[in-house]
Structure 1
Amino acid sequence: MKATLKPALTDWFRQREGEMLDLLEALVNTDSGSYDKAGVDQVGSILESALRNADVVTSRHRLLNNGDCISGKIDGEHRANKHVLLLGHMDTVFPSGTASRRAFHIDGDVAYGPGVADMKAGLVMNLFVARAFAELGGNRLPLHILFTGDEEIASPASRRLTQEMAKGARAVFNAEPGRPTGNVVTGRKGALFMDFEVRGVAAHAGVSPELGASAIEALARKTIALHALSNRSNGISTNVGTVSGGLSVNTVADFACGQLDVRFPDNIDRSALRQQIIDIIEEESPTCTCGKVVREGLFLPLLTTAMTMDLLAHYQTAAREVGFTVEGEYTGGAADSGLTSAVGAPTLCAVGPVGGHVHTDREYCMLASIVPRAQALALAIATLDPD
């Protein structure tokens, strides 16, 4: 890295802190739940426009049901060498209307709002890092950026593109929120999402209950059995997070449904665990009820490899250069970093601005972390060995 580039990069971000906050406010105040294609596409258009204004070559990867993906590329000084991938997702877990009810607001040095940390602050950081290199140069390696729109539901439409863009990468930096400790993430559990339905037999609950078979009772039994698979000693956790069903209070329910979340470390036999779950869901208990899985989503674990730790050490050096220290953590939360790790790309996750209470109405982002995290990421990219 040229001696003059470091101060130029760090000063560049300081001078644009106000612009970064303006963009963060605009993104947080745009609903972009995973199933809100129009909202995710609106966020994508904002980011796409900002990249194009910085003369970054962009592509829109159109999807039928999920938000379109946006990618960009900046040539490096060593064009033939491996690239660096900046990864982030535009979708949130919040339904349409949340942004108007809980709009972006700042209290002291803390910003609040739906998706402010997970991960709209990370989107802002990645965008401005790309802009910095587009304007100043200094990236020895080609820099690629990808914004996806379905990560919160296990990336059913974007996972192939994510893995294609990660293949052959020198490094992948995923802008998930920095931990509340300020640390980054070097390992994650995998996750399995399952939507399942249960069928029973309807009957009048007062006149002829013996003629019915309650789908709600069956779902309750399955929930208890599924939760019994949780095991702290081996790192497996299971949670039926939503349930619904029934027609009326005086009818034996002939239908119910639920959504299951399963977390597992990389040393678990995923196929065997999945079969245990299927057996529970499909079990006929009570008699004349039956269940089936109607949708599955899979997050791969982020493996803690020697390459991961080397990348952490490199990032730590850059962080110290701009005034903060950071360690690596393991977490039960899943992310697209597992997809990039699975194709052999050295991956560091949660390099985004620091935040917490994600997926809740208390979600926050520490504003004082936005500029330093962007500076550290930019310096880490600028000083990566091309080989």
Structure 2
Amino acid sequence: MSLTALETAAVARAAASPMLDRTLAWSAVNSGTGNLAGLAQVAEMLADAFSTLPGEITLVDPAPAERVTVDGRVEAIAHGRHLVLRVRPGAARRMLFTGHMDTVYAADHPFQAIARLPDGRINGPGVADMKGGLAVMLAALEAVEASSIRDFGYDVLINSDEETGSFSSNALIAELAQGKIAALTYEPALADGGLAGARAGTGNFSLVVRGKSAHAGRNPDDGRNAIVAAAALAVRLKAAHGPRLSVNPARIDGGGPNNVVPDLAILRVNFRPALPDDVVRARTHLDSAVAMVSAEHDVAIEVHGGFNRPPKSLDAGAEKLFGLVRATGADLGIPIGWNPTGGVCDGNNIAACGVPVVDTMGPRGGAIHSADEFLIPDSLAERAGLSAVTILRIIEGGLA
């Protein structure tokens, strides 16, 4: 299938967008998930940029979220506001486009500068993940809006907490996903252009172990060692690790002077279930391990956390959407392949709502979440054109 005149015009319009300038400007402002001032500044910059699209932009307050501190207390987490744009909400056919404004680099992280590398790549915090993706999204939507097609609507969500699990935006994602025929999310593609297909889910837990303190020399047996119990719990949980369920006991907080039996420890553990049944299996194993260790070590264990991103499988709807993206790529001379991954993103949550989603529609890049993060600038126009034509084909019934 060759490109239509409408599609050809959309590709040219997308390529003319100032994507690189936007990416560099947005990446120059630190917007680590905990940097509320930086997030507020980037949110205003994004609201201004996305105002080129029709519809109403709002900055939505984050939902309450909490964490367990190193001393076992549960405290609220402050998050930035989430940007939402609603375009033609009354349209019969509507799509969802999502991205995130936060990065993994805190305000005091040493990686803050943007540099052009000798081979043409751009190194900088968030240039690929995902300030570049937001620029691609906007360019594609501007190109579609410049066409004559108006019998569709869409919502755009750019949240402020994706990098830490979207705990304050999960409900908003679910709300906006309702009734959508498809969704595109702008996480970066791999450097070779590959996309993420099926994704594992994730669950993060903080297990607060409360024992009893005692003198380590005079009466140690009167104590109940929370560190030992937490370690036993970590070993028992790790026993469930396998091909379909990754279990990673990541950290134990607690303890004190060498001459005191510790009465508090917090075990942090991550689960990566491949399939929905594995979520049930993981939760059952967790509950069983907590009960056994509590009894064996005579300690109390509080379980905080949950499975915040369900596994994302490629069902029939997702297969059809991936097929459309691949065919569109072929018409544009862009080979498109995809592979399963253990990584997670908001695409997991969208798919859990029954909406087909491709969640790596951003530019090509790599080494994300490190000081070597890079963007391939030429891929901005490439991926914006891919998105624009994909959207036009979905609007014209390409998923029917």
**Interval containing the TM-score (normalised by the shorter chain):** 0.7 to 0.9
Give 1:1-387 correspondences, 5 Å limit. 3-16=4-17, 19-63=18-62, 65-75=78-88, 80-98=91-109, 101-107=111-117, 108-138=119-149, 140-205=151-216, 208-232=219-243, 235-282=244-291, 283-284=293-294, 287-384=297-394, 385-386=396-397
Question: Secondary structure of the equivalent of 1:383?
Answer: helix
Distance of 2:299 and 2:157 partners within structure 1: 45
Shift of 1:276: 1.3
Report the secondary structure of 1:178's partner residue.
coil
Could you tell which deviates more after superposition, 312-321 or 105-114?
Answer: 105-114
Distance 1:22 1:46 in 2: 13
Shift of 1:259: 2.0
User: For the Cα contact (< 8 Å) 1:195–1:296, is it kept in 2?
Assistant: no
Return the offset for 1:31.
Answer: 2.9
CA distance in structure 1 between the aligned counterparts of 2:179 and 2:41, rounded to whole angstroms: 31
Any unmatched runs of 5+ in structure 1?
A: none
CA-to-aligned-CA distance 1:3-43 (integer Å, 9 cap, x gap): 44333322223333xx3222222333333333444333332
Secondary structure at the counterpart of residue 294 of structure 2: coil
Q: Distance in 1 between matches of 2:157 and 2:318?
A: 20
Give the Å deviation of 1:134: 3.7
Between the aligned partners of 1:297 and 1:114, the Cα distance in structure 2 is 28
SS at match of 1:309: helix
- Does the aligned pair in 2 maintain the 1:37–1:66 contact within 8 Å? yes
How far did residue 138 of structure 1 move? 3.9
Residues 256/112 of structure 1: CA separation in 2 closer, same or farther (3 Å cut): farther
Deviation at 1:239, TM superposition (A): 0.9
Structure 2 residue matching 1:270: 3-state secondary structure: helix
1:51 Cα deviation from its structure 2 partner: 1.2
Give how far 1:143 is off.
3.1
Q: Is the 8 A contact 1:185 1:329 kept in 2?
A: yes
Deviations 1:264-309 (A, max 9, x none): 1225242342121133245227634332212334101222111111
CA contact (8 A) 2:245 2:282 kept: no
Aligned to 2:71: none
3-state SS, counterpart of residue 177 of structure 1:
coil
1:161-188: CA deviations, max 9, x gaps?
Answer: 2122222212111111213442222311
* Distance change in 2, residues 1:242/1:45 (3 Å): farther
Taking a change above 3 Å as real, the CA distance of residues 32 and 211 of structure 1, as seen in their structure-2 partners, is: farther
Deviates more, 1:46-55 or 1:209-218: 209-218
Shift in alpha-carbon separation, 1:22–1:204, aligned structure 2, 3 A: farther
Q: Shift of residue 50 of structure 1?
A: 0.8
Q: Quick check: 130-139 or 105-114, which moved more?
A: 130-139
Matched residues, number: 380
Per the normalisation by structure 2, the TM-score is 0.85
2:201–2:307 CA contact under 8 A, matched in 1: no
Query: What letter corresponds to residue 213 of structure 2 in structure 1?
Result: A
Distance 1:303 1:102, change over 3 A: same
CA-atom RMSD in angstroms = 2.7
Q: Greater shift after overlay, 1-10 or 49-58? A: 1-10
Residue 97 and residue 4 in structure 1: after superposition, are their counterparts in 2 closer, same or farther (change >3 A)? same
User: Per the alignment, do residues 229 and 313 of structure 1 end up closer, same or farther by CA in structure 2, a change over 3 Å counting?
Assistant: same
CA separation in 1, counterparts of 2:87 and 2:184? 16
Deviates more, 1:366-375 or 1:112-121: 112-121
Give yes or no for contact 2:181–2:356 (8 Å, CA) kept in 1.
yes
**1:10 partner letter:** V
With the length of structure 1 as denominator, give the TM-score of the two structures: 0.88
Runs of 5+ in structure 2 lacking a partner? Answer: 64-77
Residue 367 of structure 1, CA deviation: 2.4
